Structure 1
Amino acid sequence: MSDRAITVAAWESLFRTQVTIMRALAAEFPSEVISLNEYDVLFNITRAPGRRLRLKDLNRNVLITQPSVSRLVDRLVARGLVAKTHDPNDGRGTVVAITNEGFALFRRVAITHMEAIDRHVGQGLDDDELRTLTELCNRLRVSVGETPDSAGVSDD
Structure 2
Amino acid sequence: MCPTTYALQAEGLAKRFKVTEALAGVDLAARTGSVLGLLGPNGAAKTTAVRIARSLLGALLLVVFAAAVSWSAVLIGMLAGDAEKVQAFGFTLIFPITFTSSAFVVVDTLPGRLQAFSDVNPVTHLSDAFRWLLLGGPVIEPVMWSLVRAAGITLVFCPPSMRAYRAKV
Q: After TM superposition, is the score higher than 0.5?
A: no
Q: Which protein shows a greater Rg? A: 2
TM-score (structure 2 length as normaliser): 0.27
TM-score by length of 1: 0.29
